[in-house]
Amino acid sequence: MAQALGHIQSVSGSVDAIEFWTGETGWPTDGGSNYGAATASTANANTFFHQGVCAALAWGTNVFYFEAFDEPWKPASVGQDGQPAIETTWGAMTANRGTKFSLQC
């Protein structure tokens, strides 16, 4: 992301000439969505938020965090590797609107 932002800024000649957005980013907070060494956990989602999302915001990049809330009503799914892919627990907050970690940068 930093490379893309740097390139756009060098082409435009300004850090403010173009509004830059990250369309969707997030981290699963509970099982079934592991990808290699990237494991689903609230601790890892917290780290991703504070080291990734907060950094993007500090660079002046707008971010859509996926997802704001858990979605327990989503159906069971299967990932590309054939393993269960839990899509219900990607929220930074529970379905009842309680935060899972600090959302302050």
Please write the tens of the pLDDT for every residue from 64-81: 998 999 999 998 888 777
Q: What is the pLDDT of residue 79?
A: 74
Residue 18 CB contacts under 8 Å (≥ 6 apart), including other chains: 8, 9, 12
Residue ranges covered by each domain of the chain:
20-105
Give the separation between CA 60 and CA 18, rounded to whole angstroms.
Answer: 11
Q: Which residues partner with 65 through β-bridges?
A: 25
Residues of the chain with pLDDT under 70: 15, 31-32
Question: Which tokens is 32 given?
Answer: 């079934």
Query: Which residue in 89, 94, 105, 96 sits closest to 26, CA to CA?
Result: 89
The predicted model scores a pTM of: 0.81
